[in-house]
Structure 1
Amino acid sequence: MREVKDFIKDKKIDLKRLEKFGFKLKDNSYYYDIFLLNNQFKMTVKINLDNSIFTEIIDVETSEPYVLHLLEMKRSGYSEKVYRAYSEVLDKIKKECFEDEIFKTYYTNEIVDYIKNKYGDELEFLWEKSPKTAVVRRKSSKKWYAVILTLSKRKLNLDSDEAVEIINLHNSPEKIEKLIDNKRYFPAYHMNKKHWCTICLDGTVELEKIYKLIDISYELAK
């Protein structure tokens, strides 16, 4: 079987959807079989729990693996048909069995769940040029109360080029001034530093403290 590279970037498996789609669990991997082009070919898709995906196409008549659909420079009319059918299956799997995972860390996903469960608000991705920047706004006022994004720690004046997920939260100027220590709480990245602060979502600030600051930010967005 051949691995399909960069097929499900920024997405994660939904195991219930995989099973509903028809995948079967075997040896800690999920397998799906389908026949293509009037049963001339059998396509098998294998998905591992680490999001890696592998495929194989077998010519039913010869029982031999078929690979011409993978050779972009040599695809002819017939291999192009196989490739099209193969791609349609993969696109359908991607659409029906995976969900977006723009943010990777446990902390960030817990915070997103907290916001959804408590306030019913969803992340909004407003900028095509910044696909990993999301805002959250209060329904009643349409005002932002959180911004989540990924950036280099160096942009927070830390001595590292490591990427980190952060959240910007609104608060009173007095509270902001007391919070900022440039270790756990930072002047707001790309926002009004008098009214907003930045927190790294890497465990430096406990989740419960971040939840309380989200609640304050939400109240200020009336």
Structure 2
Amino acid sequence: MREIKDFTKNKKINFKKLEKFGFKLKDNSYYYHTFLLKNQFKMSVKINLDSSIFSEVIDTETDEPYILHLLEEKRSGFSEKVYKAYSEVLEKIKIECFEDNIFKANYTKEIIEYAKNKYGDELEFLWEKLPNNAVLRRKSTNKWYIVILTISKKKLGIDDDEIIEVINLHNTAEEVERSIDYKKYFLAYHMNKKYWYTICLDGTVELEEIYKKIDISYELAK
């Protein structure tokens, strides 16, 4: 089997979904088998507990490994069809069995789950060159109410090069002005500093307090 590089970058396995998809656990690895192009090829996928993934395509007539679909410069009409069928299986596995794991801070994960459970909203990654930044927007108005960013503390005026995850939230001008203390609440990074502020997702502000601020930001996104 050949390892598929970068397949699980910024992704994490949902093991329950693997089993639901049809993977079987054996010797600490998950295995899945399917057939391509009307049983002309058998495709096998192996996923280890560290999220590394391997695949193999076997020609059912010769019982030999088929690799032409992996050689981009040699793919032609038929091998292109094999590659398309092979890629569709992998993409389905990625969609149904893996979840985004871009943000690492526990606070960030809790906030994403909070917004998902309360408002039914999912992260949107709008900037191709900034894959570690995302927004959540209110469906009824399409307006942002959460912006999650990965930045250096120095961007907030803190004398520290540490890279952290932060949240930008909306509030009234009066409340923003009252809240800014450069310890828990900072002038909004890269947003309107009159109506938005930034909180570091490092435990400086308790989650329950952030949840209340999220609810206010959501209401203001009407």
Deviation at 1:126, TM superposition (A): 7.8
Find runs of 4+ consecutive structure 1 residues off by over 6 angstroms. Answer: none
Question: Closer, same or farther in 2 for the Cα pair 1:169/1:57, shift >3 Å?
Answer: same
1:51-91 per-residue CA deviation (whole Å, 9 max, x = no partner) reads: 32111223445544333322222334443343233222212
Question: Closer, same or farther in 2 for the Cα pair 1:134/1:144, shift >3 Å?
Answer: closer
> How far apart are the structure 2 equivalents of 1:100 and 1:168?
20
Structure 2 SS opposite 1:168 = strand
Does residue 23 of the first structure (1) align with residue 18 of the second (2)? Answer: no
Deviation at 1:6, TM superposition (A): 2.2
2:137 maps to 136
> How far apart are the structure 2 equivalents of 1:89 and 1:134?
29
After TM superposition, the score normalised by the length of structure 1 is 0.78
1:119-170 per-residue CA deviation (whole Å, 9 max, x = no partner) reads: x24146384556632133384x765433223334332234455543221123
Question: Closer, same or farther in 2 for the Cα pair 1:185/1:22, shift >3 Å?
Answer: same
5+ long unaligned stretches in structure 2: none
5+ long unaligned stretches in structure 1: none
Structure 1 SS opposite 2:103 = coil
Aligned residues, how many?
220
1:102-128 per-residue CA deviation (whole Å, 9 max, x = no partner) reads: 53432112112222333x241463845
> How far apart are the structure 2 equivalents of 1:124 and 1:116?
9
1:157 maps to 157
2:146 maps to 146
Deviation at 1:175, TM superposition (A): 4.2
Does residue 197 of the first structure (1) align with residue 192 of the second (2)? Answer: no
> How far apart are the structure 1 equivalents of 2:194 and 2:38?
66
Is contact 2:112–2:123 with CA below 8 Å preserved after alignment?
no
Does residue 7 of the first structure (1) align with residue 7 of the second (2)? Answer: yes
Structure 2 SS opposite 1:54 = strand
Question: Closer, same or farther in 2 for the Cα pair 1:213/1:138, shift >3 Å?
Answer: farther
> How far apart are the structure 1 equivalents of 2:84 and 2:217?
49
1:88 maps to 88
Query: Once the two structures are aligned, what percentage of the paired residues are identical?
Result: 68
Deviation at 1:2, TM superposition (A): 1.5
Q: Show the 5 A alignment for 1:1-222.
A: 1-118=1-118, 120-123=119-122, 125=124, 127=126, 129=128, 132-137=133-138, 139=140, 144-160=144-160, 162-221=162-221
**One-letter amino acid of the counterpart of residue 46, structure 1:** K
Deviation at 1:38, TM superposition (A): 4.1
Structure 1 SS opposite 2:45 = strand
Is contact 1:17–1:97 with CA below 8 Å preserved after alignment?
yes
Deviation at 1:201, TM superposition (A): 1.7
> How far apart are the structure 1 equivalents of 2:6 and 2:121?
26
Deviation at 1:47, TM superposition (A): 1.8
Structure 2 SS opposite 1:73 = helix
More off after superposition, 121-130 vs 52-61: 121-130
